[in-house]
Structure 1
Amino acid sequence: MKSILLSLLLLWVSCIAFAQYPVVSISDIQFVTQAATGNCDDQTTYLGDTVIIRAKVVADGYESVPSGIASAATGHKNFWLQEGNGGPFSGIDIFSLSGSSVSEDIHNLLAGDSVEVVGVIDDYNGETELIPLEGNSITLLSQNLDITPAVAEIADLNDADRNNLLQTGEQWEGVYVEFHNVTVASVDFFSGGSRVSFNVEDQFGNLINVSDRYRVQKLPGEGGTFVAPNVGDQVDTLRGIILHSKNNCAGFSGRGYELHPFSESDYVYGASAPRIFNITRTPTVPSSTDDVTINADITDNDGNVVSATLYYATGTTGAFTSTAMTLASGETYEADIPAQSDGTLVRWYLVAEDDSGLVTTLPNSNPATLTYLYRVRDNGLTIYDLQYTPYSAGTSPYVGESVSVEGVVTAGVNSTDTGDLGSVYIQQENQLSYAGIWLMQGTNLTSLNRGDKVSVEGVVAENFGMTALTDIASVSVTGSGTISPTVLNPDSFSIYNAASHEQYEGMLIKFEHPTAGEDLYLVEQNADAQTGNNYAEYRVGTDEFNPSSGTRIIAGRNGANSSLYVSYVNDSLWEVSSGIMNVPANVVHYGEYMESISGIMYYSFGDMKLFPRNNNDIVNYGGGPVYASAYPAEDTVCLGETVQFVNNSSAVADQFDWTYSDGGTASIKYPMYAITTPGMHSITMTATNTVDGENDQTILTDAVFIDTSANCGLGVFNHKVEFAAVYPNPAHDFIYVESSNISGSMMVSMFDLSGKKVISTTSYIRRSKVDLSELQSGLYLIEVRNNEGALIATQKVVKD
């Protein structure tokens, strides 16, 4: 009782503090018309608003461990709220970053707790989220309320290809639901086998992924006890929270709607199909004289195995031949595939049936979409053999197996060139497809250089869809070789297509315009602006006026395995935010051009992306308008201390002139200057393209305070770098203002050329969406300040 009384007192206090925010129902926030979802628009009308929500916690906060049980205390903190007794549009994701400080520790909340949450409505890849404000934004109201799942159908959420069906599925986003009478269609172990998700299907073949955000589905490799189901297992009832990873819409390549169980009672299995495990193939790489023996352990938990059959075929279209497997010993069954000629691709799969008539088919319930594979080779495997698959999943047929291959180094940790990618890739000589592979982990890789011909022994792995060799046991340089890049049109990679794109994974690629003498254009500065994110990716294509056509380019983000030796990045924040760049940053902008761009083709999150290795991979970069943009790394320093200025101007600018309000000047890109007089100071910077004389100017008004108080010398200043990125620019209906290391609120103002303030908004989240739809076309100045009023950035924005 004391706890509740204290909570009510806190609620009364918080009501005073947050009285200006409206109380809004979850259904009002989540509701989207079918007309909107029919046009792939599932975005809430409350996006960016600060609201108050009162609802019930669905699952214990401590159970949500997306980053693994070991990091539960430090990872992202999620919980889901349910309104009333559940049903359509009744649930929402409450998302709090690990570094945020709120009044109620999310990990302490329990299912059935009634809470009030004050936060900002955001959207992440199709999932509506409420981000709690810092401070007293979460208040416990009552406890021990009932939580009831709503019955839903997979057919309302996804189709047979797991494409989300927004018009009927969006009502279930964030809702606690249950499915009845589904079957396990496939099981996917990932992250080196330490994690698992599985797909279940309804009677019509519609699929939904069951994933592991919660502790209950964590494997022993992540500190859990979950035992993965078998393909073919019947599930009488399956419960969980629906999350949305948007796909089948322009700019989105997620996994569709997903189910995330949070309790052991959420899995209610029916009859158990036979279990097939410990599958082996001997030899791993057969020659043309070798029969291949397939062994598998086959058991049944609630009955007896009555038959086990091996099916095999040659090539990609040959008919399957069946052969009965015999019980060799204990629970181990075996059968042979006869010897095949050198170079033959062999497809095979296993089927087991029990005395209840339940059937398990591995590796997939539908052999037309996936089988096991191997290649017959008299002279050993090639990179082509590791990479080639006729199936859309793109998974190597040799995952988990130790193999040896040869190739020529196309990217390395070191290079005789100016820097390199930082990761090692090798490519098979005289092979134009399925020829490259990433050497992801192993010894002796740092000594390899481009052009080295090497023999490598390692274990084949899939790293979130990217095939690689890991646990490399040996690397030996056997000579030298030359790999010429494969020349392609960047527009052919606008939307991922496994059949045409998978063959270039890991290969050295060069993008050029298909018409000789024509340039490529930077068609989109931030390829993820539509989803409100920035992953250091920009888009290059042939049509300057089509931002959706072209290939994604990544540079400056070490966390995404891209190079730190490429100057051309989509924001200067990448200089220091994901590894320290080894070259000056030149921020790219829409409309700039290049003759060609080369690099390693990479796959991640549903897209093929190019990793340029260093600046030499980008030929004759130029064009586009000049934008001047800068900010000081510190807004307060003591008299006599230097201030570092960060330059975020466009890449085509090559001359920079700085004027400080104490009379000082500088003419370098990244000046460090000690302002000589106390007080508040402004700085003017002019960026110029000396080739055509075009220039632009930015004025940093009251940007730096030079202090002479007693605080100086005591080390009381926290010289924290604060800055903001503004994109897209030019903009049409909106811009995003994304801050870094700004604590508390961020104040965004826009001014027209007369100095009139036309927009003023305050954001409590790192990324703020600013609506420009009511503004006339033209040039505007945007100003960003932190919660203390200190100027963080100014930038000119073009509203088209």
Structure 2
Amino acid sequence: MKNTLKIIFALMILFQVSLSQELYPLKKIRDIQFKPIDSLFLADQLQNSVPQRWTLQSCNFLGDTVRIVGVCVIPPKVLTYTTFGYNMVVADTGYTGAFGYIFIRPPISSTTNPGDTIYYQSILNVERGDLVEIVGRVWDFPGPGESGFPTMNSMTQIIPLRDPNFTLLGTAEVPPPIKMETSDFYEGIFPGGKIKFSTGEPFESGYVELTNLTVNSWLNTTNGTVNLMDDYGNMISTYDASKWWTLRTFRDPNSPYTSIFPINTRIDTIRGWITTVSGSENPRGYRIAPVYTNDVVIGISRPQISSVRRYPVIVTPDTTARIEAVIRKSYGGVDVRDRLIFYSFDNGPFIVDTMQAIVNDSLYYGIIPAQPLGTFVKYFLKAVDINDNSTISASGAGGGLGADTSKGFYFYKVTDGNLTIKDVQFTPFSNGRSPFVGAVTTVRGIVTADTSDIGPSPRTSGGTSSWYLQSGNAPASGIWVYGIIPELYNLRKGDSVAITGTVQENFDVTRIGNVSAVEIISSDNPLPEPVKLTTGIFGPNAGNGDLFAEPYEGMLVEFDTVTVTDIWPTYADPTEFTVSDGTGNIIVRRDGKNFYSNVQNDTLFNMTIVKVGDKFSKLRGIIFYSFNRYKVCPRTNADFGTYLPTSVEDKLDAPIPLRYELANNYPNPFNPKTTIEYALPKEDFVTLKVYNLLGQEVATLKNEFQKPGRYRVTFDGSKFSSGIYFYKLQTSSFNQVKKMLLVK
């Protein structure tokens, strides 16, 4: 019967085919989806910090009506999250992988009566493997005029015409899932990681396969979506687009997905459709939406170890340490046979003991014997099931780090009960965790930052608040203090204080939180001298707990002669910028009460807008950690030293020009300064760079959005040798290079 309907359907539209061929050009899916790699690399750098650059990753032929021919990979009524399932995914007939897929989505409302589905009934005749011609408008969602526009995470789609729209041409082989890595789509942990446009965008709407993942956390329990992490710390989130893999009302009654995956569930393989989503979850970038019932293969479900606690947290010579943990079988797993604790004194051999039950198959404990003052104790837990599959809990670090004994262990030092800042901050392991999390203690030090330096509340998410203490300038001597009691607001730099609170790890930053008492011992003490370091110590390769960077968390440091290298380095916070002393970039946070900014509109607040290439004779600040990067937080203007701008700009009072222009510099030859003028007929992203005779970039004068008008920039060549230089103006649609001569 269905074959008969297909024949009738084909005859009904046959007379329309020739008309559509005349009116609408035939385009390959690749032609629509393709973006040059340099555009995608730039998108990697910008992330969503400059959403106006959304075209770096968007479709070609936006708004054009075209014909495409493709093989159906995901048929209608499977992706039921939108348009009542009146949608599908097709692959290019000349399929080679990259840029070969596209989403077909008729303009049917998902929230109102679907009366207009009658115009798209023909889509329901398309089955997986059918070769189909589609006539429709090329679009990116969200696109111009739509909620959420602009965004760097838009998705290309074809919006079919009402009539004609779908023509069956036969059948074709469905391409197999593309084997990829999680890091092809996202690098690191959200938030704070990096969307990989350069390797992810080519497979937008693709049907891919990922392996060896673990459920790290739940994203939306109502929908059934989770965050998956690979063995290297890269995260991707699922999306419940398919009727087979959702907990929402459009779930198929026969779906195998009846409850959200438990945390720590091992996913051996997941196949799915690569998409982006609009709304609050859009910043996550590419998502994987399992499509068919067999698209998720559960791996070996090992035992779970969670809620590891030590009682007491601060261990003294006269006390044993009681280690408690919840140990149970995982979803899909088998019974746990052994629950073991391993402990070592002063890095000696591990002693193994069996943990005892408090509540059967739930809460267990082990005892570490009392030890002399100063003993270094490390320990970890291991659970083994009846099939000899095991799980290790080695530390309180998140994700896979917590099971990695090469990154560290649970540990403590036997003390007299009085902790120093160094006791709280020091760790010999590369996971950054304090050994005393949860302890209520009193620490002493000199106040190095107060409310006159940094606001009492973080300026943005992932920021710091006012108070820091430091005891000397040896490594691990500084710490962040957080609380709301009024006594904190009386603190001033140079106060010697004793502060009582709880040791916390706040998004991987160790701090004294929930402050309950503040005692000012003396005032007007000299501050510890800043530790002189190089910026490269805190570069992008320094992960949380890095043994060279972590010891300076919370400490006052200083870098000599730094240059602004990037004014939009992170997606997580567009107010951050980077500087380097030549050894590598460090991110500069904006929590301090200073008047340097990378945000152009901050001129309204009389702030100095830093540009790429600007220099500071020194940069001081407190080392902080957020969104997977070590950062420096300058306090006041004094922390910046002497400001040395690379260029001086004037926006000329003149009519808006009709075209782009780049004028000859004057004077030319010059020594040491020269002026460059240019004109913009519309708002645009502008780069103005200087190159030497070898083509090497020596200065960036502009790298920002500018409004239409005429501009004058002064280039200072006092730091460069005599010779021929070139300056290049580039916008979205203009590119020109001119020559100048520096004579000294």
**Could you state the TM-score of these two structures normalised by the residue count of structure 2?**
0.61
2:501 maps to which residue?
457
Structure 1, 44-53 or 266-275: larger mean CA deviation: 44-53
Question: What does residue 570 of structure 1 align with?
Answer: 598
**What amino acid is aligned across from residue 392 of structure 2 in structure 1?**
T
Summarize the alignment of residues 298-337 of structure 1 with structure 2, pairs less than 5 Å apart: 298-300=327-329, 302-314=333-345, 318-331=348-361, 332-337=363-368
Provide the rounded CA distance (Å) in 1 between the counterparts of 2:622 and 2:159.
47
Q: Secondary structure at the match of 1:352?
A: strand
Task: Please give the alpha-carbon distance, in whole angstroms, between the structure 2 residues aligned to 1:615 and 1:298.
Answer: 52
Give the match's secondary structure for 1:405: strand
SS of corresponding position for 1:356:
coil
1:350 offset after TM fit, Å?
A: 1.1
- Partners of 1:357 and 1:213 in 2: how far apart? 34
Change (3 A) 1:454 1:521: same
Q: Find the partner of 1:353 among 374, 384, 392.
A: 384
Match of 1:426 among 464, 468, 475: 468
SS of residue in 1 equivalent to 2:315: coil
Superposed displacement of residue 747, structure 1: 7.4
**Cα shift readout 1:386-441 (whole Å, capped 9, x = no counterpart):** 43334434344455665553443322223599x99982232331252123333355
Q: Does 1:551 align with 2:583?
A: no
Deviation at 1:501, TM superposition (A): 1.2
Cα pair 1:420 1:614 within 8 Å, conserved: no
- The answer to whether the 8 Å contact 1:568/1:585 transfers is yes
Equivalent-residue separation in structure 2 for 1:549 and 1:366 (angstroms): 28
Is residue 2:527 matched to residue 1:486? Answer: no
For residue 260 of structure 1, report the CA deviation from its aligned partner. 4.0
Secondary structure of 1:500's counterpart equals coil
Q: Which residue does the alignment assign to 2:491?
A: 448
Larger Rg: 2
In 1, are the aligned partners of 2:469 and 2:481 still within 8 Å (CA)? no
- 1:496 partner letter: N
1:620 corresponds to which residue?
642
Secondary structure of 1:312 counterpart: strand
For residues 270 and 320 of structure 1, do their structure 2 counterparts lie closer, same or farther at Cα, with a shift above 3 Å needed?
same
Deviation at 1:282, TM superposition (A): 0.8
Contact 1:749 1:760 in 2 (8 A): no
Question: Aligned ranges for residues 495-644 of structure 1 at < 5 Å?
Answer: 495-497=540-542, 498-512=546-560, 520-524=561-565, 526=567, 528=569, 535-543=574-582, 549-555=584-590, 562-563=591-592, 565-575=593-603, 581=605, 584-622=606-644, 624-630=645-651
Q: 1:334 to 1:379 in 2, by over 3 A?
A: closer
- Distance, in Å, in 1 between the alignment partners of 2:355 and 2:89 is 51
Per the alignment, residue 443 of structure 2 pairs with 405
Q: Which amino acid aligns with 1:458?
A: T
Match of 2:425 in 1: 387
1:152-185 residue CA offsets vs partner (Å, 9 max, x unmatched): 25499699999999999886566342346x364x
Tell me, what secondary structure is at the counterpart of 1:552?
strand
Q: Which blocks of at least 5 consecutive residues in structure 1 are unaligned? A: 1-7, 9-14, 64-78, 95-101, 123-127, 219-223, 245-254, 513-519, 556-561, 632-658, 662-691, 703-721, 741-745, 762-767, 780-797
Deviations 1:266-324 (A, max 9, x none): 64435532222332211111112221111223222553221111112345x55432212
Shift of 1:457: 0.8
Deviation at 1:460, TM superposition (A): 0.9
Are residues 1:466 and 2:498 paired?
no
**Structure 1 residue 235 and structure 2 residue 275: aligned?**
no
Decide whether aligned partners of structure 1 residues 540 and 354 sit closer, same or farther in structure 2, where only a CA change above 3 A counts.
closer
Decide whether the 8 Å contact of 2:567 with 2:612 is kept in 1: no
**What CA distance in whole angstroms lies between the structure 2 residues aligned with 1:319 and 1:22?**
71
Given that 2:575 and 2:589 are in contact with CA atoms closer than 8 Å, whether structure 1 keeps it comes out as yes
| Cα deviations by residue, 1:27-62 (Å, 9 ceiling, x for unpaired) | 77458799x99xx99999994776237799989696
How far apart are the structure 2 equivalents of 1:487 and 1:339? 41
> Following TM superposition, by how much is the alpha carbon of 1:696 offset from its aligned partner in structure 2, in angstroms?
6.1
What is the distance in 2 between the residues matched to 1:566 and 1:484?
Answer: 20
Distance 1:160 1:612, change over 3 A: closer
Cα deviations across residues 644-673 of structure 1 (Å, max 9, x unaligned)? xxxxxxxxxxxxxxx899xxxxxxxxxxxx
3-state SS, counterpart of residue 628 of structure 1: strand
Change (3 A) 1:295 1:485: same
Stretches of structure 2 that go unaligned for 5 or more consecutive residues are 1-12, 14-19, 48-52, 63-67, 118-122, 127-133, 144-150, 248-257, 277-282, 395-401, 656-670, 715-726
After the TM superposition, which of the residue ranges 425-434 and 397-406 deviates more from structure 2? 397-406
Question: Against the structure 1 CA distance between its residues 274 and 626, is the aligned structure 2 distance closer, same or farther, given a 3 Å change threshold?
Answer: closer
* 8 Å Cα contact 2:562-2:579 kept in structure 1: yes
Counterpart for residue 783 of structure 1 = none
Are the structure 2 counterparts of residues 694 and 170 from structure 1 closer, same or farther at C-alpha, using a change threshold of 3 Å? closer
Match of 1:775 in 2: 737
Q: Which amino acid aligns with 1:52?
A: F
Change (3 A) 1:89 1:725: closer
CA distance in 1, matches of 2:387, 2:431: 32
Q: Corresponding residue for 2:323? A: 294
Contact 2:236/2:288, CA 8 A, preserved across alignment: yes
Distance change (3 Å), C-alpha of 1:107 and 1:311: farther
Within 2, Cα distance between the matches of 1:23 and 1:415?
A: 59
What is the CA–CA distance in structure 1 between the aligned matches of 2:440 and 2:337, rounded to whole Å?
Answer: 34
Paired with 1:349 and 1:573, the residues of 2 have a C-alpha distance of 52
Structure 1 distance, partners of 2:111, 2:218, is 27
Matched-pair contact (CA < 8 Å) for 1:600–1:610: yes
Q: Distance in 2 between matches of 1:132 and 1:104?
A: 17
Return the alpha-carbon distance in structure 1 between the equivalents of residues 45 and 637 of structure 2: 39
Q: 1:190 to 1:602 in 2, by over 3 A?
A: farther
TM-score (norm 1): 0.57
CA–CA distance in structure 2, aligned partners of residues 303 and 447 of structure 1: 57
Alignment of 1:25 with 2:5, yes or no, is: no
1:209 aligns with 2:231: no
Paired residues of 2:564 and 2:615 also in contact (CA < 8 A): no
Question: Counterpart of 1:74?
Answer: none
Pair 1:60–1:613, CA change in 2 (3 A) = farther
Cα distance between partner residues in 2 of 1:91 and 1:440: 51
SS at match of 2:548: helix
CA–CA separation in structure 2 for the residues paired with 1:217 and 1:392 = 38
Residues 592-614 of structure 1 deviation map (CA, whole Å, 9 limit, x = unaligned) = 44332211112234433222111
The 8 Å contact of residues 407 and 427 in structure 1, kept in 2 or not, is answered as yes
SS at match of 1:235: strand
CA contact (8 A) 1:51 1:119 kept: no
The within-5 A match list for 1:656-667 is none
Amino acid at match of 2:501: E
Residues 677 and 713 in structure 2, CA contact (< 8 A), matched pair in contact too: no
What is the distance in 1 between the residues matched to 2:182 and 2:303? 27
- Paired positions, count: 585
Percent sequence identity over matched residues? 21
**Equivalent residue letter for 1:449:** R
Contact 2:437–2:504 at 8 Å: present in 1 too? yes
The equivalent of 1:51 in structure 2 is: 60
Query: Does structure 1 conserve the Cα–Cα contact (< 8 Å) formed by 2:30 and 2:99?
Result: yes
Structure 1 contact 566–613 (Cα < 8 Å) conserved: yes
